Amino acid sequence: MEPNQCTKLLEGGIYTTLNVVKTGNFLYDLKKYYESEKFKDDFKAKKFSFGFEAIDSTSMVKNVLNLGASDDEINNFQEKVKSLETITVSQSFFDSFSLHTPNKDVIEGYVKCLEVQNNKKGLSTVVQEGDEGITIYIFYNKISSTDPSPVVEDYKITNGIEISKSFNKGGILDDNNSITFKRSDPSKDIFFFLDTDKGPVNCLLNGLPSGFNKDFPVGTILCSYLSWEEFQEVTKNNLTNPDKNWNSRYSKWAPCDGRRIDSTCGLARAAQNLNNVPDLRGVFLRGNNIFDSNEAGNGIPPVPQYQKDPSDNRVRGSIQKDEFKEHNHQIVQQTFGGAVTTPLAVSGNTSGADGDLDGSQIVSGYDRTTVPLIIANAGGTENRPKNMAINYFIRIN
């Protein structure tokens, strides 16, 4: 397996998943992990849904540990690994191993990296952030075979402290270029700029949530007594936007008014390429009948019938129009022709006041069943409970 810039992204995800000490040589670190008690514990705890391999770098003999192996088989595998000077693994095993790591950002970075390498011509970047800092991988896909590599004229990092880089001012960008740095102030946005004789390339990395913003994941909706202007001030929202008009790329929050958001926003990526925030103007919020699609498997009973939304299986963000529940009314006793009775609407009976709506004790045209009994209108323009006006805001980055 020959690592390139894209596989290096996956290596980072494996390190994070296994919590392995990083020395700079992935295969050496993997060998040490195989030999450790932690590997045995992880394997027996069924942390992985696949088997493992270790190939002797000299003889290319493959040693395999199958899923569900016994303690003796695990011990034998570890002893074989310890006896080898160096190991390698096949590309298919590496792909299976790395793509099973529960790190969505790593996988997205890897996919984007492959797209950049295979399709895009000219300068492009892929960003990967981990515990050891932020690494920006810089690619130059030549327009033609005779296209010379770009020369670095200048570069700049704002709000970041450089750790290492593979290029220098005045030097040529080769096939694999990267720069690693850490945040000088986690709450501030980082801007990376690289200028070459073939044009510039840049990256904007949003500051990490802090204070009020720290514990709210994307998609969280807050109801607030503050106006949008006051809320932006409190949350320091959109402050890095050069023209100061709201822009989803520079904002952590948006008002729930249906406005469009950029496809790069965390909310758009998390909610399957959502294009607009929900429009909650003038409406109440109502919980879906099911939050967890596997609620039965998790021992959660179905929602009680008295609590259930009659419009079952609603799509998130769908509007339910106003409606009142089907019902009837009882007409109270009234005095007709000197007799107190509950009128029957409309009876042909002339005895007493039964159905005698005009008190004449004579069935007239007014009393006939063809004449409807109309109850006077009352109320306003909608059905609603007592309420207070507030604003809804949603986390988008």
**3-state SS, residue 218:** coil
- For 342-368, give the DSSP string: ---TT----STTTT-SSSSSS--GGGS
Give the pLDDT score at 103: 53
Residue 77 confidence (pLDDT) above 50: yes
The pLDDT confidence band at residue 41, using thresholds 50, 70 and 90, is: confident
Give the pLDDT score at 265: 85
Residue 353 confidence (pLDDT) above 70: no
Residues 6+ apart with CB under 8 A from 285: 221
d(CA 206, CA 289): 36
pLDDT over 70, % of the chain: 72
Q: Where are the alpha helices (DSSP H) in the chain?
A: 5-18, 26-35, 37-44, 71-83, 91-99, 104-118, 228-235, 266-270
Give the pLDDT score at 256: 96
pTM for the whole structure? 0.47
Give the pLDDT score at 351: 42
Give the pLDDT score at 4: 55
Q: What share of the chain is helix, strand, coil (3-state, %, to 5)?
A: 25, 20, 55
Give the pLDDT score at 365: 47
d(CA 132, CA 150): 28
The pLDDT confidence band at residue 79, using thresholds 50, 70 and 90, is: very high
Residue 87 confidence (pLDDT) above 80: yes
Residue 111 confidence (pLDDT) above 80: no
Mean pLDDT of 143-155: 84
Higher-confidence residue: 287 or 20? 287
Give the pLDDT score at 180: 92
Q: Which long-range contacts (CB under 8 A, 24 or more apart) does 206-215 make?
A: 206/252, 206/397, 207/159, 207/183, 208/183, 209/252, 210/186, 211/187, 213/252, 213/395
Q: Quick: pLDDT tens for 331-348.
A: 677 666 666 766 554 444
The pLDDT confidence band at residue 314, using thresholds 50, 70 and 90, is: confident
Residue 228, both tokens = 């949008």
What is the Cβ-side half-sphere exposure of residue 303, based on CA atoms within 13 angstroms? 14
Q: Quick: pLDDT tens for 275-290.
A: 899 999 999 999 999 9
Give the pLDDT score at 362: 53
The pLDDT confidence band at residue 10, using thresholds 50, 70 and 90, is: low
d(CA 259, CA 264): 15
Residue 146 confidence (pLDDT) above 60: yes
Give the phi and the psi of residue 289 in degrees, each rounded to 5.
Answer: -70, -30
Task: Supply the mean pLDDT for the chain.
Answer: 79
Residue 371 confidence (pLDDT) above 60: no
Q: Are 186 and 207 in contact (CB under 8 A)?
A: yes
CA 396 to chain centre: 9
Q: Quick: pLDDT tens for 244-275.
A: 789 888 888 999 999 999 887 888 888 876 88
Give the phi and the psi of residue 85 in degrees, each rounded to 5.
Answer: -75, -45
Question: Looking at 27-36, 172-181, 209-218, 313-322, which range is the least confident one?
Answer: 209-218
